[in-house]
Structure 1
Amino acid sequence: MATLEIKNLHVTVETDQGTKEILKGVDLVIRSNESHAIMGPNGSGKSTLAYTIAGHPKYLVTEGEILLDGENILEMSVDERARAGVFLAMQYPVEIPGVSVSNFLRTAKTAIEGEAPSLRGWIKEVKGAMENLRMDASFTERNVNEGFSGGEKKRHEILQLELLKPKFAVLDETDSGLDVDALKVVSEGVNRAKDANGFGLLLITHYTRILNYIKPDFVHVFVNGKIAEEGGPELAERLEAEGYDRYVRA
């Protein structure tokens, strides 16, 4: 069983108004096969946590650790974290003109595994994953995220998740911009990948609708750079009914 442990994490970012502390002492433990949902209002630090785990250079860790099976990944580069088993599905995936989806996926798989997958087996695996996500076969010849709809971008993120098989997956507002049908397909993809590979899941969202499809084991309320409350799935139901006002007021 793999473990991702976040201990007393403090993170700052440079703004036009100077240095601002975003995360103010976050403690969180995620294990293989567990699903954790982080919910909270805008500006509470949810995405900062996601990008800090992945290693975005914009975010400076001033205190604390992020341990993957006891090893501090803060000392690793972004690509080293990916090879160690960390995956981030971004809220706003970037376009990569001139790079086809097929080349991108196989290059990523080769970088993660240290060797290129056998072509015949790889093509079969990609085709199967795309069919499950209801993606047309021509999708692989398009440039990465160039001209993609919001739903196509999110399906492509989950396609990567299925193919790269990480130890821990951080999904940053994967539900944003999705209609009901796309949300169901994407959620089914996440569940399918998790059932097959047993990764630990950290799902960041504002709303409970995705939690109707991806059932969390634990729910964490994020307010002002800290975890304000923790509980089980029933906490998400309470947030749906009551909102975040009482946390913000406090």
Structure 2
Amino acid sequence: MSTLLIKDLKVVAGEEPILNGVNLEIKAGEVHALMGPNGTGKSTLSETIMGNPLYQIVEGQIFLDGQDITTMSVDERARAGMFLAMQYPTEVVGISNADFIHAALNARNGNQPVAILPFLNELKQQMDFLEIDEDYADRGLNADFSGGEKKRNEILQMMMLKPSFAILDEIDSGLDIDALQIVAKGINAMRSDEFSCLMVTHYQRLLNYVVPDVVHIMMGGKIVKTGGPELAQELEKTGYADLSGAVEGSDND
């Protein structure tokens, strides 16, 4: 089970207000898409859910499976089953991709470290599934990876860590059609009653391959419209101009 509930979330970065009362519920087993113009708070919401200290919550709460995680640190949230695929994955030359994932699994498991041989076997299986060359396991984390390789590597980490709730921040940006299909295959492989997901995206094309249960539109730092997959298709035709008046109103279902 993994249910995320956000109540009246208001967030600032420094002195600047960014989120202006976000309300959101993602139930166990659901995949939600979050769309909206640039600069409207989508990535800020992603980072805030994960606990980035650069963003200060001034009002509201975040609950994971009924537990208030509003004041939890990033590592506490990760141990609780949360995962963030970053928009711009960081390169770390001094640690191999395999060592990083193994260390992350051990950190989450606490007193039950993951045996190396089963880990390596599963890593190979998942890399094969995502069409990642075996030698990438021994390369520095994201070191000299292309944009598409970094995004596939984020999905590899997700599939190995098996979080109960994942946030995918523009996982489709910069991907060609082949890489997009592989990334989507990985996301769809995770779908189950024990997994929930929030996908931040600008484009309908990802949603052609990973069909969301719910689509939300964010403008002005809050969610102004919610609907089914057809809402994203509608946006492809009309853009966001027709929703500009909703920014001053309340969240809509």
- Give the TM bin, normalised by the shorter chain: over 0.9
Name the structure 2 match of 1:173: 170
Q: TM-score, normalised by structure 1?
A: 0.95
| TM-fit CA distance, 1:146 | 1.2
Q: What is the alpha-carbon distance in structure 2 between the residues aligned to residue 156 and residue 198 of structure 1? A: 22
Alpha-carbon distance in 1 for matches of 2:194, 2:211: 14
- TM-score norm. by structure 2 comes to 0.94
**Which whole-Å CA distance do the structure 1 matches of 2:31 and 2:206 have between them?**
13
Aligned residues: 245
Q: Is the 8 A contact 2:6 2:25 kept in 1?
A: yes
Name 2:250's counterpart in structure 1: none
Aligned to 2:211: 215
CA distance in 1, matches of 2:118, 2:191: 21
1:206 aligned counterpart, secondary structure: coil
Q: CA deviation at 1:248?
A: 3.0
Q: Find the partner of 1:37 among 33, 42, 45.
A: 33
Picking from 37, 50, 55, the partner of 2:46 is 50
On the 8 A contact 1:106/1:116 being kept in 2, the answer is no
Structure 1 runs not aligned, ≥5 long: none
Matching of residue 72 in structure 1 with residue 44 in structure 2: no
Match of 1:10 in 2: 10
* Contact kept in structure 2, 1:221 and 1:229, CA below 8 Å: yes
**Structure 2, unaligned runs of 5 or more:** 247-253
Contact 2:2 2:194 in 1 (8 A): no
Q: Is 1:144–2:141 an aligned residue pair?
A: yes
Return the match for 1:230 from 205, 220, 226. Answer: 226
| Separation in 1, partners of 2:8, 2:66 | 15
Distance in 2 between the 1:205 and 1:231 partners?
A: 15
8 Å CA contact 2:31, 2:197 repeated in 1 = yes
- The CA deviation at 1:2 is 2.5
Root-mean-square deviation (Å): 1.1
Matched residue SS, 2:70: helix
Residue type at the aligned position of 2:58: T
